[in-house]
Amino acid sequence: MIRRLFGRLAFLIALNLGAGPAWTAEPPGEYQIKAAYLLNFARYVEWPAVRLPTGAPLRLCVLGRDPFGGALIGLEGRQVNGHEMRLRQIEGVDQAGDCHLVFIADSEERRLGLLLRGLAGKGVLSVSDTDGFAEAGGSIGLVVEDGRVRFDINQAALQRDGLRASSQLLRLGRNVLGVRGF
């Protein structure tokens, strides 16, 4: 009976996929929203002038396996507060020297502690969607809650790196860590 059940289900799935349009009309995917967040973080965070001189390009680097599936390409060349956004794929923290915003992919979860240590004090805004990223010492952790993408900010980590988050960013964060104890 179970054989038949599985067979029929597989068939239904195949049919459903064949129909196609249901997929293309779907609302934005998780990583499309997350890509939009990255652009906004670049807008609402201020880097020290030595780190990001006026008119210099703002580098967004992806560390690990790019989970955005092409959603980041739309950010390339965009103007953010007078800086042109550039994309880069990096393999390790040693290549992160000229990055301003580093997105750490889930694939790097096992070496997260090591990566955060390597990035600390380099004036890099670290963003990731691994579980508990902001609590682990990262700058901004993206979280999915109740079917929506939210973010946690670790204010202490930002201050350590000389970065300033705008009040608007702090207000919209789900949790702001590093103030009043956290």
Partner 1 sequence: MHPCRARIVFPALMWATTVWADEAPLVDLALEDLARLEVATVSRKAQKLSETSAAVTVLTAEDIRRSGARSVPEALREVPGVSVTQIGAGRWAVGVRGYAGRFSNKLLVLIDGRSVYSPLFSGVFWEALDVMLEDVERIEVVRGPGASLWGANAVNGVINIVTRKATASRGGLLSMRLDNQGHPAVAVRQGVELGGAGALRVFAKGNELAESRSASGESGVDGNRGWLAGFRMDSAGSGTNAWMVQGNTYRRSSRENLQTSAQAGLPLLLPLGADLEGSSLVGRYTWGLAGGEASLQGYVDTQRIEAKNYGTGEVRTADLDFQHRLAPMGAHELMWGLGSRFVQTEIHLSTPALVVSPSGRKFNVASAFVQDEITLQPRLWKLTLGGRFEHSTMSRLEPQPNARLMWTPTDADSVWANWSRAARTPSVGEIDTQMFAGLHQTGNPRMPVVAMVSRPGPNWAPRAERLDALELGYRRGFGNGSFEAVLFHHDYTHLTSISLDPGGVVLPGVAGLVPAGVVPLQYLNRGNVGSARSTGLELGLDLPVTENLRLQASYTLMDIRAGRSSDPVTQASGEALEEASPHYWANLHGLLSLGRGREVDLMVRRVGAIGLGHVPAYTSVDLRYGWRVSRSFEFAVVGVNLFDPLHQEYAPDFVPSQPAYQPRQGFVQGMWRF
Phi-psi region of 163 (alpha: psi -120 to 50; beta: other; left: phi over 0): beta
What DSSP character marks residue 57?
P
98 binds partner 1 (CB under 8 A): no
**Rounded to whole angstroms, how far apart are CA atoms 5 and 24?**
28
Nearest-approach distance from CB 178 to partner 1, in angstroms = 4
Q: How many CB atoms lie within 10 A of CB 32?
A: 17
Question: Would you count residue 146 as binding partner 1 (CB under 8 A)?
Answer: yes
Regarding 88 and contact with partner 1 (CB under 8 A), the answer is: no
Nearer to partner 1, 27 or 55 (CB): 27
User: Is residue 87 involved in binding partner 1 (CB under 8 A)?
Assistant: no
Of 48, 77, 92, 97, the one binding partner 1 by CB under 8 A: 92
**Looking at beta carbons only, is 53 or 73 nearer to partner 1?**
73
Sign of CA dihedral 4, 5, 8, 11: negative
By the rule CB under 8 A, 154 interacts with partner 1:
yes
Site for partner 1 in 99-118 (CB under 8 A): 105-111, 113-114, 116-118
Tokens of 47: 């880097």
Task: State in Å, rounded, how far the first CA of the chain is from the last one.
Answer: 55
Per-residue string for binding with partner 1, 54-83, x by CB under 8 A? ----------xxxx-xxx-xxx--x-----
